[in-house]
Amino acid sequence: MIARLLSGDLPRSHALTVVLVIVLVSLAGAPFLFPGSQSLNVAAKICVFIVLAASYDLLLGYTGIVSFAHTMFYGIGGYGIAIAMHGIGANWGAMGVGIALALLVSLILAVVIGLFSLRVRAIFFAMITLAVASAFAVLASQLRDITGGEDGRSYSVPAMFRPSFRLFEQPVLGVSITGRILTYYIVFTSSLLLFLAALRIVNSPFGRVLQAIRENEFRAEALGYRVVVYRTVASVLSAGMATLAGVLMALWLRYTGPDTTLSFAIMIDILLMVVIGGMGTLYGAVLGATIFILAQNYLQVVMGKLSAATSGIPLLPQLLHPDRWLLWLGILFVLSVYFFPTGIVGRLRSGRLKA
């Protein structure tokens, strides 16, 4: 049953299974296990970035396509919701229209980029996606009347998603079920479903062809697979998933702006999540996204405590000062890429083989 749900793609490592179960249980029970708006915010971000990193891994890890336009599709999802909610109003119809239009725009852009540029060599494709994504980011900040420009758009969401909404009159397990928690569970459930769908795709005959293309494009074509078609379909699927991740984030934040959706910094974050977790294993996206978002949010706190604890020792308190958190994040990444070139998942799986 579980194997079926995971499309037969089991973690294949005890340690990995344990970690994945911890992540799943923590996210599923987040509102009850870690009450408070900040921790719920972190949990929602982890859910969305798992989808975003998994969809990017579909391109990078499975098909061997390097694209820098992934945040563009993520942004299209966010702006779809923003523009519809702001322009039409905070109702379900507007939400549906926003999602449908965002998916349509992403689909068209992914097909056009795919057919025009997936024929060329990988490095040129990467550059084209970079150019298109930059152009889109400029466009989003220039079209102030539609997108809100650099300030972005804040908007209301349907009443059910608002913090003042109460699902039950009585608190459940000591937590009152607000619209916030309801939104969280929509984000969590959608993310879980999208992740399982991605797992299914990579374990379908289609997924095997993608891996074949990554391994040896020339031979895949000789076996009768039209490589450009498969790459384009993979790009479209990945773009669609990124768009839906953008939709979920927009519903959660009730705000869409260039810095939270289209910035190149997010693109780099996604890339690191996939590489650190392990390319070509969707579970890697789960670990990568979880570790990254946790580090981003809690490293400063941990460092502040360490800095205070080491206050008597020379130099250490300065090194551990919360302002140095980016330095330590950087060091952690360099070390993890150096010691786990196949990512955390690759490391855990090969550890099992040696045992």
Partner 1 sequence: MDAPALETRDLTIRFGGHVAVDRVSCSFRAGTLTAIVGPNGAGKTTYFNLISGQLKASAGTVLLKGEDVTALPVSARTHRGMGRAFQLTNLFPNLTVAENVRLAVQSRAGVGLDLMRLWSDRTALIEKAEAMLGRVRLADRRQATVASLSHGDQRKLEVALMLALEPDIFMFDEPTAGMSVDEVPTILELIQEIKSRAQATILLVEHKMDVVRSLADRIIVLHNGQLVADGPPAEVIASPVVQEAYLGVAAA
Residue ranges binding partner 1 (CB under 8 A): 7-8, 200-201, 203-209, 211-212, 215-216, 218-227, 229-230, 233, 237
CB closer to partner 1 out of 177 and 199: 199
Rounded Cα distance between 170 and 164, Å, is: 14
CB closer to partner 1 out of 10 and 135: 10
CB closer to partner 1 out of 156 and 216: 216
Label residue 224 left, alpha or beta by phi (over 0 means left) and psi (-120 to 50 means alpha): left
- Indicate the Cα dihedral angle 257, 324, 49, 86, nearest 10°: -20
Shortest distance, position 71 Cβ to partner 1, whole Å: 24
Is there a contact between 158 and 90 (Cβ–Cβ < 8 Å)? Answer: yes
* Amino acid in position 76: I
Shortest distance, position 280 Cβ to partner 1, whole Å: 9
Residue 259 CB contacts under 8 Å (≥ 6 apart), including other chains: 152
Rounded Cα distance between 335 and 333, Å, is: 5
Shortest distance, position 10 Cβ to partner 1, whole Å: 11
Residue 218 CB contacts under 8 Å (≥ 6 apart), including other chains: none
Shortest distance, position 220 Cβ to partner 1, whole Å: 8
Hey, how many other C-beta atoms are within 10 angstroms of the C-beta on 176?
Answer: 12
Shortest distance, position 234 Cβ to partner 1, whole Å: 10
Shortest distance, position 352 Cβ to partner 1, whole Å: 15
CB closer to partner 1 out of 27 and 199: 199
Structure-token pair, residue 152? 């972005």
Shortest distance, position 113 Cβ to partner 1, whole Å: 20
| Orientation of helix 343-354 relative to helix 264-277, angle to 10° | 0
Hey, how many other C-beta atoms are within 10 angstroms of the C-beta on 309?
Answer: 12
Q: What is the 3-state secondary structure (H, E, C) of 78-91?
A: HHHHHHHHHHCCCC
CB closer to partner 1 out of 197 and 295: 197
CB closer to partner 1 out of 162 and 200: 200
State the Cα angle at 262 between 62 and 115, rounded to 5°.
45
CB closer to partner 1 out of 34 and 116: 116
